Structure 1
């Protein structure tokens, strides 16, 4: 058995650099710790955190390897001591890891694996874990969503929001709003996914439009990945006793002058920052168990899995460049053959 494996690394000092620095090379093959499985990877999904980590702007948890990637699909090659989740060698699985998915093999806690349904492709499965778990966490564990509440998903055509819109719909949201940067993306969110309405942040004042659409009430839950540029708008659009869940800062973390925080008191707004990757395995396992309940709805297509592009992992530079364009609707997936 080989003692090495291929993986994607960066040739920039410190592992930080542009997409063009990424390349496939040989590294020592991973070995399982207690409770871990070794999975031979068929496909892995790209996430915006990968871009941030590549450029040195993501707080990587201490247990994460330097290899990028947190979600994958593949087959179990071996099981370490202490694996008690009912898996066996040869099982087709998909799962979530702290890192290391841009590689031929990954060592991952068996608590974070799921059996891959036969009707779900390797490519689709590789794009499920981070996306659907993050949306579930933002809605329920952090945002306290309940049937009948209204919700706003920023970056509506992003993979997390695509999942979140669908979860909001089956969860009984009264209204589902989105923001996006093109009419094509808005039409996708409304006509394909079932959002109530969408607003183009490039051409419209989205907070004013949502207030009009809700007769001034606003929305009960806001899920935001944008950060500084949307901070005031989120406060304006949040309903009384509303919750704003902050998951990212694509526009930066420094607030512009003149931001009015009066709504925190006036409307009793709760602002919650959260992340998934820094959580412990037991927390993530609860979310994995929730994800498992969605599998029948993936099978009957009540919940749809959207893959925008599939590229061989030899084209990892192109894959990262595609994500940087911010034009995709759904996941960008790389396959390993």
Structure 2
């Protein structure tokens, strides 16, 4: 492989703040450790946890890079000890614990997925974070199976659009919420079966109407707070509620008797702090079950907008404005 530079461009704010703290700086090129690879980053996905980290609300886990960015796509340019040589120069996308907003990033080889022909680096970079999240929560924790009806909040977010796309590939009936009639229309275009404008409609009443009073089998919730008891009212008996974010608050009062009487399951998870071993197992599952849809072109992420690395502040401002539909991506090079 070609000689690597000593330094690289990166976005590495030294203090919390608004989007304006996201400025280009120079940082040393990281070195891959055992079981890791160094990726020359072509594109990186922008995610809500990046915004939280920038504000000082979501510090990276121990040992992770302080540079934001949880998913990248690019080409492997260096191998750590124990990585098979067949990975050299391979185009991959990867889920990482930090470091994506830079020219080079380190990833555990178990968290890399080969980029097939026909998949752009921009699309590849927009897949890992949402794909790992939706797969582990909707299909593993909520046990969603073909024929189930699922309610997903934030239907036009990166998570929401991926949930719609995966749900349709695996035979789910997808109900989503969104904050405007325009976003509801986009959700239906993407593949949702029903879209509810939560600003003008009561989503509990709408789910009851849509399901003819039966309720849904699972709820994927990014809202938390006062949404949780309302979500439980949407569930059918034996339904599963999965929490993955708490945008409206982390504390809630829930009706325990209803949970007992109707045998409801409340669960949830976070992804960033999970072990490399766990994430590698998920990557193997995705390679076997979902990646065939990527290879044949049936699964592509919904891309909202692409910004160059030096405009990371604008990318964060767009995410915080809430007008995006799908994924925001940084184009970096390589």
Shorter-chain TM band: over 0.9
- Correspondences of 1:139-158 after superposition (within 5 Å): 139-158=138-157
Is the contact made by 1:312 and 1:336 (CA closer than 8 Å) also made in structure 2? yes
Partner of 2:226: 229
SS in 2 for 1:10: coil
Q: Deviations over 1:109-146 (max 9, x none)?
A: 11111111120111111101111111111112211112
Give the counterpart of 1:288 among 276, 283, 288: 283
Q: Per-residue deviation at 1:39?
A: 0.7
* 1:182 corresponding residue in structure 2: 180
Range 161-170 or range 36-45, more displaced: 161-170
Number of residues paired by the alignment? 329
Mapped contact 2:79–2:85 kept (Cα < 8 A): no
Relative distance call for 1:233 and 1:85 in structure 2 (3 A) is farther
- Following superposition, the deviation at residue 59 of structure 1 comes to 5.1
Q: Decide whether the 8 Å contact of 1:85 with 1:111 is kept in 2.
A: no
- Is 2:204 the counterpart of 1:207? yes
Partner of 2:247: 250
Q: CA shift at 1:86, angstroms?
A: 3.8
For 2:64 and 2:177, the matched residues in 1 are separated by 33
2:36 and 2:169 map into 1 onto residues whose CA distance is 34
Map of 1:133 onto structure 2 = 132
CA distance in 2, matches of 1:304, 1:31: 31
> Where does 1:9-48 land on structure 2 (aligned, <5 Å)?
9-12=12-15, 16-48=16-48
Tell me which residue corresponds to 1:322: 318
Q: Give the alignment of 1:243-282 within 5 angstroms.
A: 243-255=240-252, 260-282=255-277
Are 1:238 and 2:235 counterparts? yes
Give the conservation status (yes or no) of the 8 Å contact 1:235–1:261: no
Gaps of at least 5 residues in structure 1 are none
Aligned to 1:195: 192
Aligned residue for 2:155, secondary structure, equals coil
The 8 Å contact of residues 158 and 330 in structure 1, kept in 2 or not, is answered as yes
> Structure 1 runs of 4+ off > 3 angstroms?
259-262
Gaps of at least 5 residues in structure 2 are none
Structure 1: how far apart are the matches of 2:62 and 2:7? 23
Q: Does structure 1 retain, via aligned residues, the 8 Å contact 2:50–2:68?
A: yes
Q: Is the 8 A contact 2:177 2:196 kept in 1?
A: yes
Q: 1:302 to 1:104 in 2, by over 3 A?
A: same
CA distance in 2, matches of 1:327, 1:85: 43
- Any conservation in 1 of the 2:151–2:219 contact (CA below 8 Å)? yes
Contact kept in structure 2, 1:117 and 1:295, CA below 8 Å: no
- Measured in 2, the distance between the counterparts of 1:177 and 1:262 equals 26
The separation in 1 between residues aligned to 2:303 and 2:23, in whole angstroms, is 23
Residues 35 and 84, structure 1, Cα contact 8 Å, conserved in 2: no
> Alpha-carbon deviation of 1:64?
1.4
| TM-score, normalising length: structure 2 | 0.94
Q: For the residues of structure 1 that align with 2:258 and 2:64, how far apart are their CA atoms?
A: 38
The C-alpha deviation readout for 1:41-63, integer Å capped at 9, x for no partner, is 11100000101111122253213
Name the CA distance, whole Å, in 2 between partners of 1:29 and 1:196. 46
- Contact kept, 8 Å, 1:43 with 1:333, in 2: the verdict is yes
Going from structure 1 to structure 2, the CA distance change for 1:11 and 1:61 (only over 3 Å counts) comes to closer
